[in-house]
């Protein structure tokens, strides 16, 4: 595909320029976040990331942050839409543990 060819060209570039590396990280992160790239494109992007970010910990944090950014909006949607349902459930079903009396076995 055209995307795969472009990624292979990028993979062949010298990544010595700091500003260029940062810009490339942003572009590749946006491409990963946008959706359906196919397994081959994702593998190529991750191979480029290995060259862009030498430090394994930093690369790991970058990937975790990227995943959180991708999943973040869907998590917010779920929590926002489920909150009224949780509130309604709690109103209808009083919490039994709050109604129980606590007994201390020492005082019988």
List the chain domain ranges: 2-98
Return the DSSP state at 35: S
Average per-residue pLDDT for the chain: 76
Please give the average per-residue pLDDT across 70-88, as a whole number. 62
Claim: this prediction has a pTM higher than 0.85: no
Q: How far apart are CA 16 and CA 108, in angstroms?
A: 76
6-20, 52-66, 77-91: which has the minimum mean pLDDT?
77-91
Quick: pLDDT tens for 45-68: 888 988 888 888 888 888 888 888
Exposure class string for 28-51: b at 16+ Cβ within 10 A, else e: bbebbeeeebeeebeebbeebbee
């Amino acid at each position: 595909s055209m995307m795969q060819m472009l990624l292979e060209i990028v993979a062949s570039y010298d990544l010595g320029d700091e500003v260029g590396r940062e810009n490339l990280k942003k572009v590749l992160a946006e491409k990963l976040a946008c959706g359906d790239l196919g397994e081959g494109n994702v593998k190529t992007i991750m191979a480029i990331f290995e060259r862009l970010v030498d430090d394994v910990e930093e690369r790991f944090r970058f990937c975790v942050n990227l995943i959180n950014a991708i999943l973040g909006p869907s998590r917010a949607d779920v929590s926002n839409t489920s909150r009224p349902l949780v509130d309604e459930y709690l109103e209808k079903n009083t919490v039994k543990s709050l109604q129980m009396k606590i007994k201390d076995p020492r005082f019988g």
